[in-house]
Structure 1
Amino acid sequence: MKIKQLKYYLIPAFWLIVTLLMIGQDLLFSSMRSSQVVWADTLIFKIKWLLYIPITFFVFWLGEKLPLQSPYVLRNLLINLFVSLAISFLAVVVYSIIVTFCWNLFIGKVQFQVIFKRNLAVSLFNEFVNYWIILAAHKAYTIFRQFQQAQLDKANLEKQLSDAKLSFLKMQLQPHFLFNTHHNIIGLMQKGDTEKATRMLMKLSDLLRLSLKETNDDLVPLKNEVELLQLYLAILKIRFEERLDYQILINQDLQKAFVPPMLLQPLVENAIKYGIEPFAKQGKIEISAQNGQDKLKLQVKDNGIETFEHFNFGIGLMNTQERLKNLFGEDASLEIMSNTPENGITVTLTLPLLK
Structure 2
Amino acid sequence: MKIKQLKYYLIPAFWLIVTLLMIGQDLLFSALRGNPVVWADTLIFKIKWLLYIPITFIVFWLGEKLPLQSPHLVKNLFINLLISLAVSFLAVIVYSVLVTWFWNLFIGQSQFSIIFRRNLAVSLFNEFVNYWIILATHKAYTIFRQFQQAQLDKANLEKQLSDAKLGFLKMQLQPHFLFNTHHNIIGLMQKGDTEKATKMLMKLSDLLRLSLKENNDDLVPLKNEVQLLQLYLDILKVRFEERLDYQILINNDLQKAFVPPMLLQPLVENAVKYGIEPFAKQGKIEISAQNGQDKLKLLVKDNGIDTFGHFNFGIGLMNTQERLKNLFGEEAKLDITSNTPDNGITVIITLPLLK
Q: Distance between the aligned counterparts of 1:230 and 1:82, measured in 2? A: 78
Structure-1 separation of matches of 2:259 and 2:8: 45
For the 8 Å contact 1:4–1:145, the answer to whether it is kept is no
**1: CA distance between counterparts of 2:31 and 2:305?**
91
Alignment correspondent of 1:192: 192
**1:1-355 alignment to 2 at 5 Å?**
1-355=1-355
- Please tell me the residue identity of whatever aligns with 2:248: I
Cα deviation for residue 271 of structure 1 reads 0.5
Cα-to-partner distance string for 1:112-153 (whole Å, 9 max, x where unaligned):
122212211111110000001111111111111111111111
Distance in 2, Cα, partners of 1:159 & 1:220: 19
Counterpart residue identity of residue 207, structure 2: L
Instruction: Give the superposition deviation at 1:2.
Output: 3.3
Residue deviations 1:233-285 (CA, integer Å, cap 9, x gap): 11111111111111111111111111111011100100110011111111111
Query: Equivalent residue of 1:218, what SS?
Result: coil
CA distance in 2, matches of 1:4, 1:350: 46
Q: How many residues align?
A: 355
Give the Cα–Cα distance (whole angstroms) in 2 for the partners of residues 187 and 299 of structure 1.
31
Instruction: Tell me the amino acid that sits aligned with residue 25 of structure 2.
Output: Q
Mapped to 2, the partners of 1:354 and 1:310 lie a distance apart of 35
Q: Deviations over 1:290-337 (max 9, x none)?
A: 122111111111111111111111110111011111111111111111
Give a deviation string over 1:192-226, Cα, whole Å, max 9, x none: 22221121111111001001111111111111101
- Aligned with 2:313: secondary structure? coil
- Separation (CA, whole Å) in 2 of partners of 1:291 and 1:37: 75
Q: Which moved more, 1:3-12 or 1:110-119?
A: 3-12
Measure the CA separation in 2 of the matches of 1:101 and 1:66: 35
Moved over 4 A (4+): none
Q: Which shifted more, 252-261 or 105-114?
A: 105-114
Structure 2: how far apart are the matches of 1:243 and 1:31? Answer: 101
Other structure's SS at 2:88 match: helix
Taking the aligned partners of 2:350 and 2:39, their CA distance within structure 1 comes to 71
**TM-score, with structure 2 as normaliser:** 0.97
Alignment-mate amino acid for residue 177 of structure 1: F
Structure 2 residue runs of 5 or longer lacking an equivalent are: none
The 3-state SS of whatever aligns with 1:341 is coil
In the alignment, residue 27 of structure 1 is paired with which amino acid?
L
CA separation in 2, counterparts of 1:37 and 1:258? Answer: 72
Report if aligned partners of 1:274, 1:305 keep a CA contact under 8 Å in 2: yes
- Whether contact under 8 Å (1:3, 1:145) holds in the other structure is no
Q: TM-score, normalised by structure 1?
A: 0.97
Aligned partner of 1:156: which letter? N
CA RMSD of aligned residues (A): 1.3
Deviations 1:6-38 (A, max 9, x none): 322222222122112112222222332343332
Of 139-148 and 98-107, deviating more is 98-107
Where 1:108 maps in the other structure, the secondary structure is: coil
| Alpha-carbon separation, structure 2, partners of 1:177 and 1:212 | 14
Point out the more displaced range, 104-113 or 82-91: 104-113
Q: d(CA) in 2 for partners of 1:28 and 1:311?
A: 85
Change (3 A) 1:52 1:273: same
Structure 1: distance between partners of 2:155 and 2:215: 24
Tell me whether 81-90 or 107-116 shows the greater mean CA deviation. 107-116
Q: Give 1:354's aligned amino acid.
A: L
Where 2:163 maps in the other structure, the secondary structure is helix
**8 Å CA contact 1:60, 1:138 repeated in 2:** yes
Where does the alignment leave 5 or more consecutive residues of structure 1 unmatched?
none
Distance 1:353 1:34, change over 3 A: farther
Cα distance in 1 for residues equivalent to 2:193 and 2:266: 27
Deviates more, 1:28-37 or 1:179-188: 28-37
CA distance in 2, matches of 1:114, 1:253: 87
Superposition deviation, residue 230 in structure 1: 0.7
Secondary structure in 1 matching 2:335: strand
SS in 2 for 1:216: coil
Contact 1:23–1:43 (CA under 8 A) maintained in structure 2: yes
How many angstroms apart in 2 are the aligned matches of 1:151 and 1:94? Answer: 43
Q: 2 CA distance for matches of 1:325 and 1:65?
A: 46
